[in-house]
Structure 1
């Protein structure tokens, strides 16, 4: 999988160049609403095009699922690239320098390669299944906290699923009471990458999409962490409900969150 990681990194950096250039000329960026509080810019689309074109130069038969371009089936549907060209579009459009490119390769339903790239800080988080996780070429590991004392937690508000806010607010209160502090930075892919690097101790969010999760999921697992849905299962790519931490902290987190959930989220 190393050659495919090389291509993923190349694609992420090309998209990052598009994004960084756009960020330096925000007055030229066009912003449109896909839905309430869900934005897309011309830079999202240009970055996704750069990613797909770069990958297709080496793997013309592969398939793609992208936030902007939807599903594009190639001749080989065993290899699917899952792409978020600009995770944190709202931050980008408002001039907040916290966003990232997220690229994952899934082979026959299993994620084999993951890359999350922050073009502003030039931080590239990467992983190949079975080979560990890295930040700019250096090995990273999840944090070692054994309980919630003095932890730094990360989350995202369910702004696309506001009907879930009552449930979410219960989980927020519970974690806020036991943890040291909570951050909501606005880019799930970076939150997951930061957890893999030990910057955050636990992350949870509701209603995410596969392109938000796929790369960061692998990077966390290769950094020694655990990722699951709110029931402790592995349906988070489908449900969008995700919680991640080191194994000991995750087990405690599930005990906190599970009693607060409605029946449909406990399954």
Structure 2
């Protein structure tokens, strides 16, 4: 394992163990105000990750969903941290969330890790070296027809003006696929696509940090990722579609029909 990926895994596991213990400590959590509880848990998980990074790579830059950009001497190396992907699930004690870390070097994601501490599932990837789940190679499922596919999605409350067209897209895909899933964690959705648990995934209005780790894991498993127009600007637009090479066009057909979303919005 590459030394950087080793630190990524170590930091992710430590933060994950803390988050899992926080979920199980019902009395302490219930005594804290709901919005404060999330902040405390995410801040502590973030601090665990940042400390691990700084101990090994003190000159690297860090971007965290909670604290923003922490500039380091080596600006071309940036760690992207999401302490809890699926924080609403965590707040409600729904045991489906993850810790997500990606490392970008010269504007390319080189290492990624998504850890589900409840199921003890560790998804990792290194650019050009494939994707793994608990050290076992994973590949996207080769499924060429949308009929029979299970497709995951999510909702962005910041994009409510697209609600009508998005619901039409969901309705169209529900009719033509086997079923849809909305799990509440975009990082795990992409990992489940990589592991063949989902046959497709699409979501509107994602932030770059929400998909930084998951998109590398998905691509290294063989998944094809596009924006809503079938292009490659899903990081810029936040509109992401993923599937295997044989099914991506089938899913895009339904999305393009109902959505007309510019990259700037």
Q: Kindly indicate whether the alpha-carbon contact (under 8 Å) linking 1:133 and 1:219 is maintained by their aligned counterparts in 2.
A: yes
What does 1:253-264 align with in structure 2 at a 5 Å threshold? 253-262=251-260, 264=262
What does 1:49-128 align with in structure 2 at a 5 Å threshold? 49-128=47-126
How far off is 1:21 after superposition?
Answer: 1.2
Inter-partner Cα distance in structure 2 for 1:26 and 1:236: 38
Inter-partner Cα distance in structure 2 for 1:113 and 1:263: 30
How far off is 1:110 after superposition?
Answer: 0.5
Secondary structure at the aligned position of 1:169 is classed as helix
Q: Kindly indicate whether the alpha-carbon contact (under 8 Å) linking 2:236 and 2:263 is maintained by their aligned counterparts in 1.
A: no
How far off is 1:238 after superposition?
Answer: 2.2
How far off is 1:33 after superposition?
Answer: 4.8
Structure 1 equivalent of residue 206 of structure 2:
208
Q: Kindly indicate whether the alpha-carbon contact (under 8 Å) linking 2:89 and 2:96 is maintained by their aligned counterparts in 1.
A: yes
Inter-partner Cα distance in structure 1 for 2:88 and 2:190: 18
Report how many aligned residue pairs link the two structures.
263
Unaligned runs of 5+ in 2: none
Structure 2 equivalent of residue 181 of structure 1:
179
Secondary structure at the aligned position of 1:154 is classed as strand
TM-score normalised over the length of structure 2? 0.94
TM-score normalised over the length of structure 1? 0.94
Unaligned runs of 5+ in 1: none
The root-mean-square deviation of aligned C-alpha atoms, in Å, is 1.8
Structure 2 equivalent of residue 252 of structure 1:
250
Structure 2 equivalent of residue 28 of structure 1:
28
Inter-partner Cα distance in structure 2 for 1:46 and 1:263: 37
Q: Kindly indicate whether the alpha-carbon contact (under 8 Å) linking 2:224 and 2:244 is maintained by their aligned counterparts in 1.
A: yes
How far off is 1:32 after superposition?
Answer: 5.5
Residue 44 in 1 paired to residue 32 in 2? Answer: no
Farther off after superposition, 120-129 or 229-238: 229-238
